[in-house]
Amino acid sequence: GEDVEQSLFLSVREGDSSVINCTYTDSSSTYLYWYKQEPGAGLQLLTYIFSNMDMKQDQRLTVLLNKKDKHLSLRIADTQTGDSAIYFCAEKGGGSQGNLIFGKGTKLSVKP
Amino acid sequence: NAGVMQNPRHLVRRRGQEARLRCSPMKGHSHVYWYRQLPEEGLKFMVYLQKENIIDESGMPKERFSAEFPKEGPSILRIQQVVRGDSAAYFCASSFSLTSAETQYFGPGTRLLVL
């Protein structure tokens, strides 16, 4: 079956780097996504990576994909208090349907 | 270009009542997805619709839940005879097409509380 796992909590100090990890099980996944959810809000797409890529960088965000181990990570450089939120990893399977499969989310707390 | 819109943002219902949740996709998007988020959980897929068609409802409970996306107007998620376990945040997402590269954009959600 399809499953996405994430650690539930991460705490860092302002200015440090944050690394949020995710593992998935569907080897046919075509795209993998990172979404950010602030309290009481919807999901904001942060970035995504195609399954034939190893790395993608977008300003302070770096996504690393290890397809062999089915491991995805999101690194946030120079973490700010405004980065405090829940971060969801999601995969889109290789089948014909377009629904996303989400992890339970990692709550990032940034201490000043 | 307005994003995905959902209303109401908050909805309180008593057990046994009906809940109707609305979603207007982004302009030009014809694919709509509904997800449910239980407290402290990730989002779970419920149903995927295109205009006037339900494409995949494999994540939606067979009873009491229904969804539609008419030719004109928003997509509606309807929950009949609500129970306390239906309390959750319901998110709608839309995309332009079904191709793998197409990103889903999420609305702000409707938070349903069943008393």
Q: Cβ–Cβ of A43/B100 closer than 8 Å?
A: no
In degrees and rounded to multiples of 5, residue B46 shows phi and psi of -115, -60
State the smallest CA–CA distance between residue A99 and chain B in angstroms.
7
Tell whether B106 is within 8 A of chain A (Cβ): yes
- d(CA B49, CA B111) in angstroms, rounded, equals 21
Chain B residue numbers with beta carbons less than 8 Å from the beta carbon of A97 are: 48, 55-56
In degrees and rounded to multiples of 5, residue A14 shows phi and psi of -55, 135
What are A10-32's pLDDT values in tens digits? 999 999 999 999 999 877 777 89
* CB nearest B41 (choices: A31, A98, A104): A104
CB count within 10 Å of CB B114 equals: 19
Any idea which of A2-11, A68-77, B8-17, B97-106 has the lowest mean pLDDT? B97-106
What are B73-87's pLDDT values in tens digits? 999 999 999 999 999
Contact partners, residue A54, CB within 8 Å, separation at least 6? A64, A65, A66
Whether A78 contacts A60, CB under 8 Å: yes
